[in-house]
Structure 1
Amino acid sequence: MSATRDQAATAPNKVWLASYPPGTPAEIPPLAYQSIGAALVHHCGTYADHPAFTSMGKSISFRELEAQSAGIGAWLQSRGLAKGDRVAVMMPNILQNPVVVYGILRAGYTVVNVNPLYTPRELEHQLNDAGAKVLFTLENFAHTVQKVVARTHVRDIVVCSVGDMLGVKGLIVNFVVRKMKKLVPAWSLPGHHAFRRVLAKGGGLKLTDLKVQLNDIAFLQYTGGTTGVSKGAMLTHANLLSNMEQMGIWLETAFIGKQRPERLVFLCALPLYHIFALTVNSLAGLLTGANNILIANPRDIPSLVKEMATYKPNVFPGLNTLFNALMNNAGFRKLDFSDLALTFGGGMTVQRPVAERWHKMTGCPIAEGYGLSETSPVATANRLDSAEFTGTIGMPLPSTEVDIRDDAGNSLPLGELGEICIRGPQVMAGYWNRPEETAKVMTADGYFRTGDIGFMNDKGLIKIVDRKKDMILVSGFNVFPNEVEEVAMTHPGIVECAAIGVPDEHSGEAVKLFVVKRDPELTEADVKAYCAANLTNYKRPRYVEFRNELPKSNVGKILRKDLRT
């Protein structure tokens, strides 16, 4: 199927629907719940005694999740907050995280997810921008809070320890964390509340129904701040519930022709404060009654491998860098992967060499998807019932439209490069207190301009070429870093790489490639010769720099912006 320019100028013709798995609806059904809290209560009743989250060998059931989140919500209401007030959560993947997040939502407030590794400057900005009145944090990061809290609107601070919900084992865990590993710097927050006391007190209080509605803001999900000041995407209950339904429909297609386990096990190695894990792990797990295995430190690959050996996950959402790191671990290569039914890649481009190696090693293909904080996040995905690695981000999910547009906002025909624009029920309500920024990214007909450059083929599959801001201009020719990196990654002597543009007096910009070696004998000449054999002249790296490691975000995404500085 092909599209003429006149056809494309009116609206996308939804060619992707012909590529949907058999029986997959084009639209999600009307939402069954008015809020995430209402959905939680229903699903916790359905799956009551089954494990919902597991951390460090300790599980909480859906019944316990409902009761404990109600206690957190009731305690928050006792602090005199108004409906819609913002409550910040600054903790890694531990049991307290989902209990607190769902408690905030059930009480009628807005969650502000905070990266625990933020510097004081970053934390102060986010707390003040959001106007957060309460902050839940782990004691490991309390010293950062101490430095800025006096300059924020925060009036209540709840501090937890890693072992607070681990029972007797928690005493040992806290001793190891504090005394042996020395992971808790000295801190002082006069008047703070201890998490265990908050949970106990809340258990004796009644949660009041504040009549949360679909259009109320559930999350202020802050963007990474890679361009300008970090902004809070306003994600409503409807946004998240819609994406939960979209993911639920798509997830079931992974089991076409396969035996579906009665109770799925999700590996949650990506942080729950990131939108990817929040929806694809926590909310999708809630919908399906799955057990999410929480990994507090995914950079500890040996420990992660041990958890995989113990719990044998069926569903593994991850990133290219995490898949790559696991395959370089000898213990991982010895695992039994027979229970692994779905590996879902997102957050960054999944490189073909990594995908092919993963499929060969595990027997489970990587299905790449795509989304952003502003889209709750998942907007597109590849078919989950296919073993083919398409090298694309797949097709729009049910109830989602994708249009490729030029700089003037005109729709482009299939196959032509332009900006990927998304419309659907998962698209944010806008940026918090930034109407000018919202206007820049939202079109008059309701599409979100992603800033990503790509095209759609005649099957409705979308290929991202690169970010606008990452494009390298060499003698007037556009060079996309993803292409250079994907070629370089096929070299057996390279573990990781990243390409950026650097000033050049002859060509305006030139390509510089940063490389982490697998082969210690690898030279700059080797890399250049390999790229010369696979890339046209203007795309070839003029400069090669070897590094022991590449800078990454909190979820493992390689940060090109840090390589430019």
Structure 2
Amino acid sequence: MRTAVVPNSAASLVAFLADGSRTFADQPAYIEGETVTTYAEFWDRSAALSGFLHARVGVKRGDRVALMLPNVTAFPICTAAILRAGAVQVNVNPFYTARELRHQLEDAEAHVVIANAASLPALTASGLTGLASVIVADLPATAARAQLPEHVAVYTLEDAMTAGLALPRDWQEPEPQDLAFLQYTGGTTGVSKGAMLTHANIVANMRQLLTVGSSHFGVYPITLMTALPLYHIFALTVNMLSMLAIGACNVLIPDPRDLDGLVAQWARHRINFFTGVNTLCNSLGNHPGFAAISFAPELLALGGGAAVQKVVSERWRELTGRHILEGYGLSETSPILTCTPFAEERFLGSIGRAVPETDLVIRDEEGCEVPTGEVGELCARGPQVMQGYWRRPTATAAAMTPDDFFRTGDMARCDADQRYYIVDRQKDMILVSGFNVYPNEVEAVVAEVAGVAECACVGASDPSSGEAVVLYVVRRDETLDEAQVRAHCRRHLAGYKIPRHILFIPEMPKTSVGKILRRELRDLFAGTHRGETTTA
């Protein structure tokens, strides 16, 4: 087995990061374009920045510091610095609008922000009166100063790290039960809430992942590609924090929408671990440059964030030799609750089995456990489950059961082999004449049509059936029409599941992680098609 730093459940993330950085000091930790940063350099720079945050900016234990950067080396350096200062990191999408920023930063009461130049206009437009300090990662101080309100203190990241070298670092190390992150939910179904994740929550989830993946992580020297944003809980825990335990080399992709650039980086490095969502894997599978790569024979891809479709996984296997392994989790669970065994070579459509130390039950609307194979709400209990929603006791109470299980809001079933299957989000289920229609099932069928690049379905109010299935399609083949899609659905779906409305759009609305925003599709239909059976 290769050298590994086992996360200690009785210690903080800071202790883990320190141990890993010492163990793998001279090894490359991050590659960003042409720049390589070793573990020792990463740790030293985070120490300097942490000293600056504490002594110059006035960050105290428990303060919230917002980090809104893309996948650049500054991200993990800033994370380590924030945690070393005893503060709580608020992960923020750097592409948020002023309205979205205002909600999240006001809710978290984050008075210090670390951002890049692209985020400054939204920060200014947000009108945040409580904003005290901004550290800019990629812009001279004078240029940043000109863009921000006069009451805000402005520093550059480079100047902060330089000044921090001479500043004292005499604060107390965080305790395992201290908050480490406020991880705001995606907001795909409503206003986002801050999930309170402690050092102990994250450390537990790291241990769970490393145990499940020991057959891969313990055998091969890992070079992974991080295209999913680090401000998302999946990449934060899996790609950034867990991989430090094994001294992995992390190739950072600042903009996953630049598929040409992503493919070029993959071709340069011997990638043998990759995390992605279905939409990203689908796009890569259809990129001509990706098919030309000589893939590492031990390459393993882990999919999450949304259901991995069979047609996407089969294409991935044709190119790389292995199916995409699926896992499942949420912001509220650090995130991993289940994972497909790393030795599994089949596509099962399953999210795998519960990770160690995790109790899963499937319950009906009355809170009773359902029989094996039947569908109900998936509920979870384990050391990775959040402490609650930040300053939202009512929402926290609604999300937890009397016996301390977290209600995921996802409809699932479990087979006799303890494999779990997500049927769909409870809120996304469509009720057609009293029958349940799950969008994931319809989408998996439509994705098999050769001319379909992407698809998503939602429910819309209907006077005769209560709700009707509305299908949105992005064409791969411009000759694809409604009749072809409908004919395929008739061959593979019961009548009540066949979309009443089939509409073609140029692209899907998505979150920064690549999840399709169903609520925007619902709004689009409500605003433009009221009860019509049309194509667009």
Question: Scaled by the length of structure 2, what TM-score is found?
Answer: 0.93
Contact 2:459–2:467 under 8 Å retained in 1: yes
Q: Which runs of 4+ in 1 moved over 4 A?
A: none
Counterpart code for 2:182: L
Who is 1:369 aligned against?
327
Partner SS state of residue 192, structure 1: strand
Counterpart code for 1:208: D
Contact 2:351–2:422 under 8 Å retained in 1: yes
Contact 2:351–2:421 under 8 Å retained in 1: yes
Who is 1:524 aligned against?
482
Counterpart code for 1:326: L
The yes-or-no answer on 1:235 pairing with 2:209 is no
> 1:119-154 CA deviation, whole Å, 9 max, x = no partner?
101101111110112100101111111122543x22
Offset at 1:301? Answer: 0.4
d(CA) in 1 for partners of 2:476, 2:432: 29
d(CA) in 1 for partners of 2:139, 2:339: 35
Who is 2:367 aligned against?
409
- Residue from 270, 273, 277 that aligns with 1:315: 273
Who is 1:253 aligned against?
215
Who is 1:513 aligned against?
471
Offset at 1:486? Answer: 0.1
> 1:253-292 CA deviation, whole Å, 9 max, x = no partner?
3369xxx33x311110000000000011001111111011
The yes-or-no answer on 1:215 pairing with 2:177 is yes
The yes-or-no answer on 1:476 pairing with 2:434 is yes
Who is 1:5 aligned against?
none
d(CA) in 2 for partners of 1:340, 1:36: 29
The yes-or-no answer on 1:47 pairing with 2:24 is yes
The yes-or-no answer on 1:121 pairing with 2:121 is no
Who is 2:294 aligned against?
336
Who is 1:187 aligned against?
147
Q: Residues 157-196 of structure 1: matches in 2 within 5 Å? A: 157-161=134-138, 187-190=147-150, 191-196=153-158
Partner SS state of residue 502, structure 1: strand
d(CA) in 2 for partners of 1:355, 1:186: 48
d(CA) in 2 for partners of 1:69, 1:122: 28
d(CA) in 2 for partners of 1:445, 1:253: 34
> 1:458-484 CA deviation, whole Å, 9 max, x = no partner?
111011111111011111100000000
- Residue from 350, 355, 372 that aligns with 1:392: 350
Who is 2:401 aligned against?
443
Contact 1:494–1:516 under 8 Å retained in 2: yes
Contact 2:217–2:246 under 8 Å retained in 1: no
- Residue from 110, 113, 135 that aligns with 2:88: 110
The yes-or-no answer on 1:355 pairing with 2:333 is no
Offset at 1:327? Answer: 1.2
Offset at 1:185? Answer: 13
Partner SS state of residue 533, structure 1: helix
Offset at 1:186? Answer: 8.0
Who is 2:53 aligned against?
76
Counterpart code for 2:63: D
Counterpart code for 1:188: L
Who is 1:277 aligned against?
235
Contact 2:102–2:128 under 8 Å retained in 1: no
Offset at 1:53? Answer: 1.1
Aligned pairs, number:
515
Q: Residues 77-156 of structure 1: matches in 2 within 5 Å? A: 77-78=54-55, 79-151=57-129, 153-156=130-133
d(CA) in 2 for partners of 1:363, 1:30: 32
**Larger RCO, structures 1/2 (Cα 8 Å, 6+ apart):** 1
The yes-or-no answer on 1:547 pairing with 2:505 is yes
Contact 1:353–1:490 under 8 Å retained in 2: yes
Counterpart code for 2:213: L
Who is 2:527 aligned against?
none
Offset at 1:207? Answer: 2.1
d(CA) in 2 for partners of 1:69, 1:244: 21
d(CA) in 1 for partners of 2:505, 2:367: 41
d(CA) in 2 for partners of 1:554, 1:30: 30
- Residue from 201, 210, 215 that aligns with 2:163: 201
Contact 1:143–1:185 under 8 Å retained in 2: no
Residues 369 and 150 of structure 1: is their aligned pair in 2 closer, same or farther, counting only changes over 3 Å? closer
d(CA) in 2 for partners of 1:350, 1:542: 25
Contact 2:14–2:173 under 8 Å retained in 1: no
Offset at 1:229? Answer: 2.3
d(CA) in 2 for partners of 1:447, 1:378: 15
Partner SS state of residue 238, structure 1: helix
> 1:276-316 CA deviation, whole Å, 9 max, x = no partner?
00011001111111011110000000000000001121100
The yes-or-no answer on 1:428 pairing with 2:386 is yes
Counterpart code for 2:25: A
Aligned Cα RMSD in Å? 1.9
Question: Scaled by the length of structure 1, what TM-score is found?
Answer: 0.88
d(CA) in 1 for partners of 2:139, 2:326: 33
Residues 485 and 47 of structure 1: is their aligned pair in 2 closer, same or farther, counting only changes over 3 Å? same
- After superposing the two structures, state which structure 1 stretch, 451-460 or 246-255, moved more: 246-255
d(CA) in 2 for partners of 1:387, 1:50: 31
Contact 2:179–2:198 under 8 Å retained in 1: yes
Offset at 1:162? Answer: 7.6
Counterpart code for 2:206: M
d(CA) in 2 for partners of 1:422, 1:36: 23
Partner SS state of residue 377, structure 2: strand
Any stretches of 5+ residues in structure 1 without a counterpart? Answer: 1-22, 24-28, 165-177, 179-183
Offset at 1:31? Answer: 2.9
- After superposing the two structures, state which structure 1 stretch, 336-345 or 302-311, moved more: 336-345
> 1:181-219 CA deviation, whole Å, 9 max, x = no partner?
xxx998234431111110101122232241311110000
> 1:159-196 CA deviation, whole Å, 9 max, x = no partner?
111899xxxxxxxxxxxxx9xxxxx9982344311111
d(CA) in 1 for partners of 2:297, 2:499: 41
d(CA) in 2 for partners of 1:396, 1:150: 42
Partner SS state of residue 385, structure 1: coil
Offset at 1:407? Answer: 1.2
The yes-or-no answer on 1:66 pairing with 2:57 is no
Identity of aligned pairs, percent? 46
